[in-house]
Amino acid sequence: MRFIVSSTYLLKQLQVLGGVINSSNTLPILDNFLFELDGSKLIVSASDLETTMSSTLDVESDSKGSIAIPARLLLETLKTFPEQPLTFVVEDNNTIEISSNHGKYALAYADGSEFPKAVALEDPSTTVVTGDILATAISKTIFATGNDDLRPVMSGVFFQFSTEGLTFVATDAHKLVRYKREDVKASQVAEFIMPKKPLNLLKGILAANEDEVKIEYNDSNAKFTFENSELVCRLIDGKYPNYEAVIPKENPNKLVIDRTQFLSSVRRVSIFSNKTTHQIRLKIAGAELNISAEDIDYSNKAEERLTCDYQGDDMQIGFNSRFLVEMLSNLTSDEVQLEMSMPNRAGILTPVDGLDDGEQVTMLVMPVMLNS
């Protein structure tokens, strides 16, 4: 087995695949990349048993074979090379030799047949989405997922596909984000919960990529195919909570404000808030928004006044500033609207501008009880 490949081209592909590999694996074979060579096509795969990703590379070769090469050692070696062709040759003594312009490097390899095979999806449903839309949907929602091991369904992003459009939802019970696209439709209704790790990988690879991504899914697995790569992952098992029920429908009090100004104020004032509750108070009357925080234990307090456009009754409501900052940072609009009904009901944050046609973002933040 012998092939020649460009060092930077190989490194670029392997760095993406390296994101799949865990720092500590139960099976030693999972510390390796699987190299499967068939003539001028080289398929490289990485797996952690839950997620398997593979890329097809063009190489110079006329041989066949499959071996598993230690991932960390290979990546560290490739990072040090300037752009040049590298020759990989499998030797008889169970090592693979890499030859560069200046030297030779031998790595011990394992038998490729020991590497776990990716799951083949039986009878999947299919939806096609462009890469940048999928990447946007992931980055708009993934920050709101939970980390509670006792509620695994909340640790992923809920994909809801229908003939009307696509909906992506994430929540950790304190905040909720729903991202909708009406300009992309699925042929049939389906819903599944995607884990965070493969989503983070996809988000990184697909940002600003306008190529089509084919998503295939059944009850237990999903497969994403794009350009020269595919990613197969196990879905999170369980029923997603009924998120529609927690979105308040009647919200007569509407506040519209400049996003960056609001974000900077919340950030500044929250420095003075209680370090365990992170509570800030919003007091709205007329066209004025008063943001304040107090940490009684240390006699720290801060308040700021901002002008805003407000329709509704004067009100006071408390929020956890960390959730508010996360949400405002995740939006890209110039202005945001905060809709509220009562101080003990969730507030709804939406961007006023900067959305594509058919794009909709709804963020929900639970209030905290104010100690008056």
236 and 327 together in one domain: no
Closest CA to 334 of 262, 282, 251, 285: 262
Q: Output the CA angle 12-16-19, nearest 5 degrees.
A: 145
- Structure tokens of 5? 């490949």
26 and 69 together in one domain: yes
Q: Is 115 helix (H, G, I), strand (E, B) or coil?
A: coil
What sign for the dihedral angle of Cα 11, 15, 16, 22? Answer: positive
Predicted pLDDT at 204: 92
Residue 120 in any domain: the answer is no
The total number of structural domains in the chain stands at: 3
For 203-217, write each residue's pLDDT tens digit.
999 988 899 999 999
Residue 97 in any domain: the answer is yes
Residue 339 in any domain: the answer is yes
Residue 293 in any domain: the answer is yes
Domain end residue (candidates: 82, 114, 146) = 114
For 132-147, write each residue's pLDDT tens digit.
999 999 999 999 999 9
35 and 94 together in one domain: yes
Predicted pLDDT at 134: 96
Residue 119 in any domain: the answer is no
Question: Could you give the percent of the chain with pLDDT greater than 70?
Answer: 100
150 and 196 together in one domain: yes
Closest CA to 98 of 78, 68, 72: 78
Band the pLDDT of 348: cuts 50, 70, 90. very high
Domain end residue (candidates: 209, 244, 279) = 244
Count CB atoms within 10 A of the CB of residue 259.
Answer: 20
153 and 94 together in one domain: no
256 and 347 together in one domain: yes
Q: Output the CA angle 358-364-369, nearest 5 degrees.
A: 165
Closest CA to 110 of 148, 155, 65: 65
Q: What is the pTM of this model?
A: 0.93
For 237-256, write each residue's pLDDT tens digit.
999 999 999 999 999 999 99
Q: Which residues contact 26 (CB under 8 A, 6 or more apart)?
A: none
Q: How far is CA 81 from its chain centroid?
A: 31
Average pLDDT over residues 260-281: 97
- CATH number for the domain spanning 342: value is 3.10.150.10
Range of the domain at 6: 2-114
Q: Which residues contact 371 (CB under 8 A, 6 or more apart)?
A: none
161 and 52 together in one domain: no
* Cα separation, 124 vs 210, whole angstroms: 24
Residue 59 in any domain: the answer is yes
Predicted pLDDT at 370: 85
Residue 7 in any domain: the answer is yes
296 and 192 together in one domain: no
What sign for the dihedral angle of Cα 130, 132, 135, 140? Answer: negative
230 and 195 together in one domain: yes
Residue 232 in any domain: the answer is yes
100 and 17 together in one domain: yes
Question: Could you give the percent of the chain with pLDDT greater than 90?
Answer: 95
Domain end residue (candidates: 83, 114, 145) = 114
The yes-or-no verdict on residue 371 having pLDDT over 80 is: no
Average pLDDT over residues 269-292: 96
For 76-88, write each residue's pLDDT tens digit.
999 999 999 999 9
Q: How many residues would you count in the chain? A: 372
**Cα distance between the two ends of the chain:** 75
Predicted pLDDT at 372: 60
253 and 276 together in one domain: yes
Average pLDDT over residues 173-201: 95
Average pLDDT over residues 44-70: 97
The yes-or-no verdict on residue 100 having pLDDT over 90 is: yes
141 and 154 together in one domain: yes
